[in-house]
Structure 1
Amino acid sequence: SPVNVTANGRSYAWPRVPAIAICLDGCEPAYLDEAIEAGLMPALERIKKKGTVRFAHSVIPSFTNPNNLSIATGRPPAVHGICGNYLYNPETGEEVMMNDPKFLRAPTIFQAF
């Protein structure tokens, strides 16, 4: 019987075939097309020709950590809590990278596996 995985109130069917997601953070798709046309990215060209290509819009704010966690949780920054790459800690006066799980307010899809 098919297996479903549930995370953040959403149910996902177990894939029938393995899948790979390639996330190119902060990349304009036209740059990739130009590089492919110039012969600089033959592996990506093969993936585009033989695989499936989908584009996603950035969440706001458009920083690496909020976007990666939106992918991993299926939720926007207002829900998962990662609003930037860094936060300012007024107690220490330091910038702290928001990559510690203590900042995350929503479970990731990875926790379902």
Structure 2
Amino acid sequence: MTIKSPIVANGRAYPAPKVCAISICLDGCEPEYLDKAIADGLMPTLQRMRETGTDRLAHSVIPSFTNPNNLSIATGRPPVVHGICGNYLYEPETGEEVMMNDVRFLRAP
């Protein structure tokens, strides 16, 4: 895959990457489950990816919810900096829980 034009996300333009990379995040997955499945021959593609690519274990941020972890991966910052502290936020004005996946909650560029 070749990307030639800049990538625009949330009103910010990023130059096209020289080399594309793919990151797979298995959120909330115990690494031993994957090791066992590979040993039992149930995940040959993941085994091949581990053998021919890069395999790293990331440490979770606290709180260990999907949205704070994903934003820490994307921004390189902890929740106290990027502002996404959970999956949902209670809005007293509406009395509703709101999914914290909107850019309006993000404080880190």
Normalising to structure 1: TM-score of the pair?
A: 0.78
39, 46, 67: which one aligns with 1:44: 46
**Within-5 A mapping of 1:1-113:** 17-107=19-109
1:27 counterpart letter in structure 2: C
Superposed CA RMSD in Å reads 1.6
Look up the SS of the partner of 1:39 in the other structure.
coil
- Return structure 1 stretches of 4+ with deviation > 4 angstroms: none
CA distance in structure 1 between the aligned counterparts of 2:55 and 2:31, rounded to whole angstroms: 11
Q: How far did residue 18 of structure 1 move?
A: 3.5
Q: How far did residue 51 of structure 1 move?
A: 1.2
Look up the SS of the partner of 2:90 in the other structure.
strand
Q: Deviation per CA, 1:65-108: give whole Å up to 9, x if none.
A: 0000001111000000000000111111110000110000011x
Q: Identity, % of aligned pairs?
A: 80
Normalising to structure 2: TM-score of the pair?
A: 0.80
Q: Aligned residue for 1:9?
A: none
| Gap regions ≥5 residues in structure 2 | 1-16
Look up the SS of the partner of 2:98 in the other structure.
strand
Q: How far did residue 16 of structure 1 move?
A: 7.0
Q: Deviation per CA, 1:18-41: give whole Å up to 9, x if none.
A: 422111100110000111111111
Structure of higher RCO (CA pairs closer than 8 Å, 6+ residues apart)? 1
